[in-house]
Structure 1
């Protein structure tokens, strides 16, 4: 059962965070775009399961229902919010767990059957890295959106101008490093990373209270997500190692 969940988890995070660019997310209210995303979920799940179309179609159908509810049933101002994102992902993870419970032998009867033991850890680590780096960027961005809007609406106000998309890249790098440090057992290195970023961001934070609070919230959210996803990955590795 754990192997089915790991396979479906990898397919899900690749479909939702690597194979779904911002342009597709913005146009998801268009039925054709939503169906294209669901097709990706189905194909990636089929590949991850090793050829089980029945379960891949079931997972894709559940994914369609969840995404349709978020896209068309929620008020427009709630769709692009952190609670909606977290609720959406929790619902997806619940369906993956249910699918693994209903068909626990889906992977063991597929083409990956002879390589399950070798593929478990890489699949978990790749999934964890995607959740930490890419999903974390999306979640932190949603959290920070109201504060970012304040800077663009305030006149006069503190400037946060910089290189285009540099903030996103910095966030990805810091969460990636935190994930790496946790996986190799160097937890104390995260403290040095926090200190280094604090020094580098001191100039921005010194521009005023709003800028300082903005930097603190964003940094703590990014580091918190990196730590949470890293420890969740380590826990899943332990569960997989204890499974027969």
Structure 2
């Protein structure tokens, strides 16, 4: 575990603190021809070597640096728009190489995989992962179906009104449900109250700069958001409580 944390620290330092924006831009433009790509690889090797402080064995740091460079090169070659998917995939690949290197250093490759498989197959783990996944997109569809009549009513009040960021409500809802799911599992119900208080800061002005949007739309939009929020919160709490019950029953 110590080796993994040291290599993870080196990765975070080099990837997010010691890499100027000019390096990132140059790498995107020139790809493997960018000299900063190789500077970045060198920094990964140096930071990993220093933090591991295994002075007689530089090979893990060198291998990790080369793997880091290959992963970065794949990302900048295929990620044209700087998407979240590619960012997550890039970081997941880096974490996988760090974990693999740490397991090699501690000679715990097979025991490590066996421990992971045993952990994954535990009923509590499966229930928690299933509950977390259920709290995200499936509940978004569920709440969306239940609140559809009110969306249609709002559309009739102000046809063509575009006062929402694209998919913002969906991502806000999923983030809130995931937080509530975690809070219930760790028995931090007071944190849910804090989240509700923070959400109450969201207000819709009783006046609109758009003359085509009537005041009734603003009032009903607030009620629509409140109803959707309560449905979302209730669903997340119910799922988390079910996970707790299943975890206690099938230990």
Shorter-normalised TM range? 0.3 to 0.5
| TM-score normalised by length of structure 1 | 0.47
User: Structure with the greater relative contact order (CA < 8 A, sep ≥ 6): 1 or 2?
Assistant: 1
